[in-house]
Amino acid sequence: MSANAEKTVDSIETKPKSTTDVPDSPKMNSQAILADKTLYVSGVLGLDMAAQLVSGGAEAQARQALENLRHVLEAGGASLESVVKTNIYLGRMEDFQAINQVYGEFFPKDYPARATFQVGKLPLDAAVEIEAIALSGDLVVAEAGPCPCART
């Protein structure tokens, strides 16, 4: 089966999603996988179209990584507004504040759930790698009401 083949697992179809608006990853992975209406985005780095880390340090890499994330999300029918979870991997915890400030520019309110980790080393000695989970397609927001499990 090719890396871009659709799969069906317990009646949930999965489809690889990708865009040419970001460089190809040197890793053996899909840019994203759409499973039902959930888009799982692989870790993105602050790479330019030549697959080189952008100059300018952690802040510039975070900004480029988030722009790359935006493109992958759009290719999968999602957006930054539909992101429900991110994992952020840092090469150095000392870069947290700068990266967090840029993150806030892309997610100004209704922040997704997030975990941030310092790791031993990132590909290409990057300062940051970001992965995300988002909802894709037309979404209906249910109105809040009483909990159906409330005791009376």
User: Quick one: pLDDT at residue 1?
Assistant: 42
Average of per-residue pLDDT across 92-104: 98
Q: Which residue has the higher pLDDT, 25 or 73?
A: 73
pTM listed for this prediction:
0.82
The vertex-88 CA angle with 82 and 93, nearest 5°, equals 150
Q: Which residue has the higher pLDDT, 39 or 14?
A: 39
How far is 83 from 131, CA to CA, in rounded Å? Answer: 10
Average of per-residue pLDDT across 38-50: 95
The CATH number of 7-135, from 3.30.230.10, 1.20.1050.140, 3.30.1330.40, 3.90.650.10, is: 3.30.1330.40
- Token pair 């397609």: residue: 137
Query: Can you list the alpha helix ranges (DSSP code H) found in the chain?
Result: 57-75, 96-106
- Domain ranges across the chain: 7-135
How far is 29 from 11, CA to CA, in rounded Å? Answer: 23
In this structure, of 2-11, 36-45, 49-58, 86-95, the range with the lowest mean pLDDT score is 2-11
Average of per-residue pLDDT across 99-114: 96
Strands (E), the chain: 7-9, 12-17, 32-35, 38-44, 83-90, 113-118, 128-135
Q: pLDDT of 22-41, one tens digit each?
A: 887 666 688 999 999 999 99
Burial class (CB in 10 A: 0-12, 13-18, 19+), 121: exposed
User: Quick one: pLDDT at residue 92?
Assistant: 97
User: Quick one: pLDDT at residue 17?
Assistant: 81
Query: Hey, what's the torsion of the CAs at 99, 103, 105, 108, to 10 degrees?
Result: -140
- Summary mean pLDDT of the chain: 87
Q: Which residue has the higher pLDDT, 127 or 138?
A: 127
3-state secondary structure of 97: helix
